[in-house]
Amino acid sequence: MSINVLVVDDSRVMRAMILKSLDLAGLPIDQTYQATNGQEGLEVLKQHGIDLVIVDVNMPIMNGEEMLDAMIKTPGLQDIPVLVISTESSVTRTSRLREKGAAFIHKPFKPETIRDTVQHIMEGK
């Protein structure tokens, strides 16, 4: 089954790197969507059927954790798996994200780490 992925990051270089990694990983990706902050990301989620959200933490307007909080409160969005990819290293913050149900990958990452993590997330869905 192919999946639709939304990548939310204010850096277009990082969005491109993540999309490239997904491509190289050989994952069954159907459509990919991009947003530059959490607010834009929520709009995309309302308009399209998304199976996986990959999101950064530090972004302007609405950060990744605020987007995750909004998804948890919104019927229809709360069950969409979220993978956070960030430079964030604070155990306090990363633990909080994991408690909210998100998987976490630290930057810099290897493409195979994204592949393995996405496979793990989608198998557990």
Indicate which single residue of 27, 70, 93, 101 sits in contact with other proteins (rule: CB under 8 A).
Answer: 93
31-90 residues in contact with other proteins (CB under 8 A) are 58, 60, 86-90
**10 neighbors 37 (Cβ within 8 angstroms):** yes
| Residue 115 in contact with other proteins, rule: CB under 8 A | no
Closest distance to other proteins from the beta carbon of 42 (Å): 20
Rounded to 5 degrees, what are φ and ψ at 45?
-60, -35
58: left (phi over 0), alpha (psi -120 to 50) or beta: beta
Number of residues that bind other proteins (CB under 8 A): 21
Who's near 75: CB < 8 A, 6+ residues apart? none
Residue 11 touches other proteins, criterion: CB under 8 A: yes
Nearest residue (CB) to other proteins, 46 versus 96: 96
Residues that bind other proteins (CB under 8 A): 10-14, 16-17, 20, 58, 60, 86-93, 107-108, 110
